[in-house]
Amino acid sequence: MTEDAPDKVEEVVVKVRRRLGAPGWIIVISVGLVLLVAAALSLAATPAWAETIQVTIDKLAFSPASVEAKVGDTIVWVNKDAFAHTATVLGDWDILLPPGKSGRLTLKKAGGVDYFCRFHPNMKGHLTVKP
């Protein structure tokens, strides 16, 4: 920026004021402030990037057995066993996982849940979902 740049900016501001008059100048400032506030709010409301978290099923076990995630994240269960499993929370969700396949769930609410396999109830996992 050159030394005379502030003078040029002031000169432009004076020309705009003269051309618009006092009411027009107030409108320009008001619109500018509204746009600035809207931009700030949209940045503040932008959610963090959702993650995809993988849980592997191998040898009748969920791995990792305990997972921490956030609302909006997706859990993908990958079944590496030769037989079907489920990821089940009684009264909430029940995901069927055929042999060699995967299933997914996008987390919609915060809280902690214990889940298990309906076919092999000794298979257990825990999911902690933060807001």
CATH class of 52-130: mainly beta
Q: Are strands 74-79 and 66-70 parallel, antiparallel or unpaired?
A: unpaired
Please list, residue by residue across 74-95, b when 16 or more beta carbons sit within 10 angstroms of its beta carbon and e when fewer do.
ebebbbebeebbbbbeeeeeeb
Q: Which two tokens stand for residue 43?
A: 């940045």
pLDDT cut 90: percent of the chain above it: 62
- Give every residue of the chain whose pLDDT is below 50, as ranges: 45-46
The phi, psi pair for 117, rounded to 5°, reads -95, 125
Q: Give CA 99 to chain center in angstroms.
A: 30
Task: Tell me the per-residue pLDDT of 46-66, one tens digit each, with 9 for 90 and over.
Answer: 456 899 999 999 999 999 999
